[in-house]
Amino acid sequence: MMSFNIVDTFFVSMLGTTSLAAFSFTFPVTFTLISLAIGMGVGVSAVVAKTLGQDNKELARQHASVALIVSAILIYGLAMVGVWLHDVIFSAMGASTKEIELISLYMSPWLFGCLILIMPMIGNSVMRASGDTKTPAKVMGIGAIINAILDPIFIFGAGPIEPMGLQGAAIASILASFVCCVIVFYRLTISYQMLGWGYRLNQVIDSSKKLLAIGLPAAASNMMTPISSSILTAIVATYGSEAVAAFGVGGRIESFAVIVVLALSMSLPPFISQNFGAGHYQRVKQGYFSSIKFVMLWQAAIYLILALSSGYIARLFATDPQVIEIITLYLLIMPLTHGFAGITILSNSSLNALHKPMISIGLNIIRLFILMLPLAFFGGYLGEVTGLIIGVAIAGGLTGLIAFVIMRFHLHQLAGNTNLSSQSNHDIALENSK
């Protein structure tokens, strides 16, 4: 998914700064819908994995089937709200009339085709919950390659295909995702037999309640990020189109830079949920702390790579000197706290896997609305674009520390439950022996 964004950004940047700025405005809106899908994916993953951990595949099949239908209804409903409020949303974010016209070229096909773009993510969550992380990787890899091939053809034109600009980027993504959809739903139906039909109303309601109890808070938690990003984009827009274009590029590169963290955030929850369902709390604790140690080391290495190549990367995506300068600055400062951002991401996904989604929401409220936006605003006030970037980076570091403390507390509670359970079993065995 991240490679879709970064490839689209690379080719759109060849259309010029205005098109790149317009494309950058779309990210918070498209990611709002993707965040809803991620949240529903977290819900289905937690529910299905826990049910499989309890060795009840038929119930897991029921949960997965209902989850896909409910997710499709919610995602497309939100997309239609986006169609209805298109101009209002982007005007509020600070886009000019010219930019809104360009934005519409991309967003119209994207919103109407969003189910094709997003539903493979929900299907992949079902496969991960079943213990298969390889098939989703292969599927999305195929989609990414097809998108990279189709992007220049539809954006710039080739043979009988006329140049479509931003609209071409959206159409290329939809076509690539259609291939992913076919593969994912074939595998779920035929290979895994995880989709069924003909469930009674009470079964649908029961599965929906369990899914939404985790999925909606997780989605709300994830959707706070693009909502706050839209506010941040409005702040950045006060510094001009060049700043918006640079932040759009920086944000997509940043997403790609934390791709391993995001991968862990998708594969760690099924591991935690299955062991949580089976009562193996020590494995839950070990899985979380091992992931945190790895992420801190990994992101330190990624920072060195980005810092050394920041100027080259900036020139790859822009020709405007001001845009290049801001992208370079972004890549030198923001990734410094990516390790802490990784702690926040993994803590959020782990809390959802432990069926504590409201704590995850509270953590995201602290991260985005108590720390990031105020620090970005005051940083911008004191040091313009540089100060704004530093403010966002500091917020990421502080949130990571808070997330670690919260998660550590809950893992110690689990360990306490394990000790109590062991003591209870010991007492029962002793009583029986008497």
**Predicted local distance difference test score (pLDDT) of residue 150:** 95
Nearest to 48 by CA among 106, 122, 112: 122
The string of pLDDT tens digits covering residues 43-78 is 888 788 778 777 777 888 888 888 888 889 999 999
Q: Find the mean pLDDT for residues 378-396.
A: 91
The string of pLDDT tens digits covering residues 217-244 is 878 777 777 778 788 888 888 888 888 8
Q: 3-state SS of the chain: helix, strand, coil percent to 5?
A: 90, 0, 10
Tell me the three-class secondary structure of 23-43, residue by residue: HHHHHHHHHHHHHHHHHHHHH
The answer to whether the beta carbons of residues 17 and 323 sit under 8 Å apart is: yes
Residues in the chain: 434
Q: Find the mean pLDDT for residues 280-308.
A: 91
pLDDT higher than threshold 70 for residue 427: no
Q: Find the mean pLDDT for residues 266-279.
A: 81
Nearest to 44 by CA among 203, 205, 163, 216: 216
Phi, psi of 56 (to 5 degrees): -130, 80
Q: Find the mean pLDDT for residues 407-416.
A: 81
Question: Cα separation of 414 and 417, whole Å?
Answer: 5
What is the three-class DSSP state of 296? Answer: helix
Q: Binning pLDDT at 50, 70 and 90, where does residue 433 land? A: low
Q: Binning pLDDT at 50, 70 and 90, where does residue 175 land? A: very high
In angstroms, how far apart are the furthest CA atoms of the chain?
A: 87
Question: Cα separation of 368 and 401, whole Å?
Answer: 14
User: Which residues have C-beta within 8 Å of that of residue 104, sequence separation ≥ 6?
Assistant: 86
Q: Find the mean pLDDT for residues 184-190.
A: 86
**Predicted local distance difference test score (pLDDT) of residue 417:** 60
Tokens linked to 166: 């931003």
Tokens linked to 87: 């101009």
**Predicted local distance difference test score (pLDDT) of residue 245:** 85
Helical spans, DSSP H, in 279-372: 281-317, 321-333, 338-353, 357-365
pLDDT higher than threshold 70 for residue 426: no
Mean per-residue pLDDT over the chain, rounded? 85
The answer to whether the beta carbons of residues 315 and 375 sit under 8 Å apart is: no
Question: Cα separation of 434 and 317, whole Å?
Answer: 76
The answer to whether the beta carbons of residues 269 and 349 sit under 8 Å apart is: yes
